[in-house]
């Protein structure tokens, strides 16, 4: 899933093996990061465990990785105000819910449903952001939001809470709403802190928030599970976010936003290759409309 935070002079802090001033390399980093974001959803199918287990492993190992980066490159860790710890604690809880609802959506239905409904989060941003920042709500933004709603409605087979696909869409929709809240909140925090600091605290507080739930969930610890969670946390979370942020140094935000809309495309493609999940016609049409609305919205906003 794409990180919305930016960090000043992030290239100074990353090893030379990651950094390059070449714009083509920047584009490659963005594409690779978005690819990793899209592939993260596949773990919901690869590991048949409770979504809370998946999220806990993801945020736990991502938190450790980010802490090591902050320590190794001697970046600031402590926050400026006590209230910011409270804010980030709340955002950590929202982050935990966001990823849990995202994985649960995929487990209830398909990778396509989970990724496409999540990718509708700009719909919520369109209406929430102007209220928070006292910005004018543009008519074109409303039209693109309506377009996204149409795409989602097309994917709904029937409005029945007993229908698995309908429930998956609802959970995916909740995942999109929670991510929109995170994105808007991080816009405030990014004025004071780096993307690494914000991600570290959000992942850390999400880990603490999820810890009590582990005692009520049956869990069979295996080598496959541990290794998979380590990979999910380090490669598909900490590294992918670092690549995306670093890529923004040489790539325009508009271009990065459009590339980020490919996240469900990458996930669906690999879902087809690995799990033979072929989206039905209804999902394909709705998904194309949603992705189109996201691209239009990204172009208009930038």
220-252: burial string, b at 16+ Cβ within 10 Å, e else: eeeeebeebbbbbbbbbbbbbbbbbbbbbbbbe
CA dihedral 110, 230, 243, 14 (to 10 degrees): 170
Q: Which of 14-23, 134-143, 181-190, 291-300 has the highest mean pLDDT?
A: 181-190
Cβ-Cβ contacts under 8 Å for 86 (sequence gap 6 or more): none
Q: What is the mean pLDDT of residues 273-292?
A: 92
Q: Which of 2-11, 40-49, 118-127 has the highest mean pLDDT?
A: 40-49
Angle at 161 between CA 158 and CA 167, to 5 degrees: 85
Structure tokens, 4: 């919305």
Going by C-alpha positions, the residue among 58, 62, 59, 56 that lies closest to residue 216 is 56
Integer Cα distance of 2 and 19 in angstroms: 19
Structure confidence at residue 19 (pLDDT): 43
Residue 15's pLDDT band, with cuts at 50, 70 and 90, is very low
Predicted confidence (pLDDT) at residue 207 exceeds the cutoff of 80: yes
Question: Is there a contact between 141 and 162 (Cβ–Cβ < 8 Å)?
Answer: no
Residue 127's pLDDT band, with cuts at 50, 70 and 90, is confident
Count CA atoms within 13 Å of residue 284 on its CB side. Answer: 7
Q: Cα separations (Å) of 288 from 87, 122, 161?
A: 36, 15, 25
Q: What is the pLDDT of residues 178-198, one digit of tens each?
A: 988 988 888 788 888 888 899
Residue 9's pLDDT band, with cuts at 50, 70 and 90, is very low
Please tell me the pTM assigned to this model: 0.86
Q: What is the mean pLDDT of residues 117-121?
A: 89
Structure confidence at residue 8 (pLDDT): 43
Question: Is there a contact between 250 and 21 (Cβ–Cβ < 8 Å)?
Answer: yes
% of the chain exceeding 90 in pLDDT: 53
Integer Cα distance of 201 and 62 in angstroms: 11
Mean pLDDT is lowest, of 53-62, 120-129, 152-161, for 120-129
Q: What is the mean pLDDT of residues 81-102?
A: 96
Mean pLDDT is lowest, of 18-22, 69-73, 166-170, for 18-22
Q: What is the pLDDT of residues 50-82, one digit of tens each?
A: 999 999 999 999 999 999 999 998 999 999 999
Integer Cα distance of 244 and 167 in angstroms: 31
Structure confidence at residue 125 (pLDDT): 82
Predicted confidence (pLDDT) at residue 274 exceeds the cutoff of 60: yes
Q: What is the mean pLDDT of residues 157-174?
A: 90
Integer Cα distance of 206 and 267 in angstroms: 24
Structure confidence at residue 139 (pLDDT): 81
């Amino acid at each position: 899933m794409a990180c919305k935070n930016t960090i000043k002079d992030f290239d100074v802090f990353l090893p030379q093996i990651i950094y390059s001033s070449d714009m083509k390399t920047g584009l490659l980093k963005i594409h690779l990061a978005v690819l990793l974001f899209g592939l993260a959803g596949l773990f919901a199918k690869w590991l048949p465990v409770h979504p809370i287990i998946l999220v806990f492993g993801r945020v736990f190992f991502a938190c450790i990785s980010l802490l090591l980066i902050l320590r190794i490159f001697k970046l600031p860790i402590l926050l400026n105000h006590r209230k910011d710890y409270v804010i980030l604690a709340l955002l950590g809880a929202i982050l935990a819910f966001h990823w849990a609802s995202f994985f649960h959506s995929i487990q209830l239905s398909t990778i396509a449903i989970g990724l496409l409904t999540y990718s509708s989060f700009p719909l919520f941003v369109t209406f929430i952001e102007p209220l928070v920042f006292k910005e004018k709500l543009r008519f074109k933004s409303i039209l693109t939001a309506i377009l996204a709603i149409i795409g989602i409605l097309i994917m709904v087979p029937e409005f029945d809470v007993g229908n698995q696909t309908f429930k998956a869409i609802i959970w995916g929709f909740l995942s999109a709403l929670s991510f929109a809240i995170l994105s808007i909140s991080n816009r405030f925090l990014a004025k004071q802190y780096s993307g690494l600091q914000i991600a570290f605290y959000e992942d850390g507080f999400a880990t603490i928030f999820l810890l009590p739930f582990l005692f009520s969930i049956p869990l069979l610890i295996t080598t496959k599970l541990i290794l998979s969670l380590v990979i999910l946390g380090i490669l598909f979370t900490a590294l992918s976010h670092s690549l995306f942020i670093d890529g923004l140094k040489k790539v325009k935000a508009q271009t990065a936003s459009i590339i980020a809309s490919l996240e469900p495309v990458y996930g669906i493609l690999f879902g087809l290759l690995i799990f033979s999940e072929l989206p039905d016609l209804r999902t394909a049409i709705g998904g194309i409309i949603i992705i189109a609305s996201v691209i239009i919205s990204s172009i208009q906003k930038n």
